[in-house]
Structure 1
C-alpha cells in the first residue's frame, strides 16, 4: 500500500502538461461554484470565443477559454484527461501533444465561429449569437482522441477510427449545431497531425545504462 502513492506520482509526472491543465480546471471549477449565476454568465462570456470577443481580443480568449468549463462536474474531465490526454502526452511528448491541443482548439474555434458569422449575415442565425457563450476544453480533447488513432495497433485502428467518426459525426446529422461542427473539425485536425505521430513513433531512445 505504501507504494501506491509513489506509482500515482510517477504516472502524473509522465504527463505533466495534462495534469497541470487538469489542476487549473479544478481551481476554476471551484471558483465558478462561488459565483452567482448572473456574475458567472457575464464572467464566462468575457472569456468566451464568441464572435464579439474574437474580433476584439482573439489571443486572450483563445487562451482563457481553455481553462473554464461551462457548468457540470470536474470529475468526468479527470477521467477523460487520464484516458486520452495523458496517453497522448506520454506518446507524443509534451510539446507535440500541446501542439495537437492548440491546433484543434484554435482551428475548430475559428471554423465554427466563421460558419456562425456566415449564418448570421445570411439570416440563418440571430444577430445576438455574436455574444454566445463558448468556453471549454472539448475541441482539444476531440483532436487528441483523433490523433490517438495512430497509436492504436493495426488490427484495432480502423474500428477505433470508425467509432471516433461515429461519435463526433452523428451529432452533425442529428443536431447540426456550431459546436458539433467544431468537434468534427477538431477530429479532422487531430487526424491531420499524422506527421507528429510519425515523428513520435520514429524516436529512438538511447540504450539504458547497465
Structure 2
C-alpha cells in the first residue's frame, strides 16, 4: 500500500500541469452538475469561446473555455485521456514545452474554428444564433497531445498510433464535418509539427547514439542493488526540473 501511494505521488509530481488542469476541470464539473439547469446553461455560455464571447472578452474566453466540459458525467473519461495523453507528454517534454504546445493548439484551433463559423454565418449557411454556441472543452489540447505522442512511441508502434489518430480525427472531417472537427484537425496538425520541440527533434544523431549508450549503461544492474550516479531517482525524492 505504501509503495503504491509513493508511486502515485511520484506520478502526480512528474506531471503537475496535467493534474492541476484535471483538478480545475473536476471543480468546474461539480459546479455545473450541482447548478440549476438555467444557471448551468448560463455558465457554459459565459465561459464559451464562441464568436460573441471572443468579441467581448477575447483573452478570458480563450482561457476559461479550456477548464470546462459540457457533460460533467464524462469527467472520468477525461481523467483517463489526460493520464494517457497529457501526463505522458508532459513527463517527456517538461511542463513548459507541453503547456506551450497544447496551449497554442487550443487557442489556434478555437480561433480558426470560430472563424469558420463566422464565415458560414455571413454566407447564410448557419443561423446567427451560432454566435452564441457553446464552445468549451479540452478536446483541442488532447488532439495536440495525441499528435506529439506519436514521436514518443518506438517504431513500429508509432506508425500504428499515427494511423489511428489520423483516422479518428480525419474521418469526421471528411464526412459531414462541423466546426469542432475542423478545430480537432488543426490541433492534431499543430501537435505533429511540434516535433522540433521534442527531445527527439532537438537531439543530433551523435547525441542519440550517446544517449542510447548511456541509457544502456544505466539499465545494467549493480551488484548488491547499490545505486550509481545517473540511476533512476527514488519516487519520494523531490522532482528537479531542468
RMSD value, Cα: 1.8
TM-score by length of 2: 0.82
Correspondence 1:128-147 to 2 at 5 A: 128-147=129-148
Unaligned runs of 5+ in 2: 215-227, 232-242
Q: Greater CA radius of gyration, 1 or 2? A: 2
Sort the Cα spacing of 1:53 and 1:59 in 2 relative to 1 into closer, same or farther, 3 A: same
User: 4+ residue stretches of structure 1 with deviation over 2 A?
Assistant: 198-205, 207-210
Please give the alpha-carbon distance, in whole angstroms, between the structure 1 residues aligned to 2:230 and 2:187. Answer: 41
Please give the alpha-carbon distance, in whole angstroms, between the structure 1 residues aligned to 2:29 and 2:70. Answer: 9
Sort the Cα spacing of 1:96 and 1:5 in 2 relative to 1 into closer, same or farther, 3 A: same
> Tell me, what secondary structure is at the counterpart of 1:175?
coil
Please give the alpha-carbon distance, in whole angstroms, between the structure 1 residues aligned to 2:12 and 2:201. Answer: 20
User: Match of 1:73?
Assistant: 74
> Tell me, what secondary structure is at the counterpart of 2:96?
helix
Task: Give a deviation string over 1:86-117, Cα, whole Å, max 9, x none.
Answer: 00000000000001110110000011001110
User: Match of 2:57?
Assistant: 57
* Superposed displacement of residue 209, structure 1: 5.9
User: Match of 1:101?
Assistant: 102
Please give the alpha-carbon distance, in whole angstroms, between the structure 2 residues aligned to 1:55 and 1:159. Answer: 41
User: Match of 2:46?
Assistant: 46
Unaligned runs of 5+ in 1: none
Sort the Cα spacing of 1:195 and 1:201 in 2 relative to 1 into closer, same or farther, 3 A: closer
Please give the alpha-carbon distance, in whole angstroms, between the structure 2 residues aligned to 1:199 and 1:106. Answer: 25
User: Match of 2:225?
Assistant: none
* Superposed displacement of residue 2, structure 1: 2.2
* Superposed displacement of residue 14, structure 1: 0.5
> Tell me, what secondary structure is at the counterpart of 1:151?
coil
Task: Give a deviation string over 1:133-159, Cα, whole Å, max 9, x none.
Answer: 000000000000111111111222222
Please give the alpha-carbon distance, in whole angstroms, between the structure 2 residues aligned to 1:209 and 1:194. Answer: 26
